[in-house]
Amino acid sequence: MERTLIIIKPDGVQRSLVGEVIARFERRGLRIAGLKLMHISRALAEEHYAEHKGKPFYEGTVRYMTSAPVVVMVLEGPNAIQAARQTMGKTHPLEAAPGTIRGDFGLDIARNLVHGSDKPETAEREIALYFKPEELVSYQRVTDAWLSE
C-alpha cells in the first residue's frame, strides 16, 4: 500500500474540474485518505517547489500555485504514485496521452491542472507539507478486495 499527494491546481478549480478529476482517480481504484480545499501561501509554495528555485519557471509556478484555491488530497492504493501519475499524464499537456487528465483538459505546461508526487520519498515529504497526521483517515472500502489481491 502506497500513498501519494495530489493537488488539483488553481486552473482545475477555476475551470470546475474538481469533480471530474477526483472521479478519474476514484474510478482508477485509488482510495481517498485525505481531502481539503485550501489557498496555498507563498511560504508553502516556496517550500514545495524548493528544488526548482532558480529555474526560469520557478517564480511563475509559485505565483500560479498561490493565485487561487486548490484541492489537495492524499490517495492510497497499491503503487498509488505510479498509478496516479499515469492517470494525470505527462507534465506537459501536449505530451500527455489522450485519456489522461492533462491530455484531455490541458494545453500549457504552466497550466497543467494537477500535481502528483513523483516517488515515495517525495510523497512522504509533500503529504507532511499539506496534511497533519490526524487529517488522514485509514479505512477499508467493500470494493478494495476487488481491486487487488
Q: 94-133 burial, b for 16+ CB within 10 Å, e for fewer?
A: eebeeebbbbbbbeeeebbbbbbbeeeeebeebbeebbee
**Rounded CA gap, 56 and 132, in Å?**
32
Output 57 or 144, the one with its CB closest to ligand CMP: 57
32 or 64: CB nearest ligand CMP: 64
Smallest distance, ligand CMP to C-beta of residue 91, A: 5
Cα separation of 67 and 50, whole Å?
18
User: What are the residues binding ligand CMP (CB under 6 A)?
Assistant: 57, 61, 91, 109-110, 112, 115
CB of 55 to ligand CMP, least distance (A): 7
d(CA 8, CA 124): 18
At closest approach, how far in Å is the CB of 149 from ligand CMP?
31
Q: Is 52 a catalytic residue?
A: no
Nearer to ligand CMP, 31 or 115 (CB): 115
The residue nearest ligand CMP at its CB is: 57
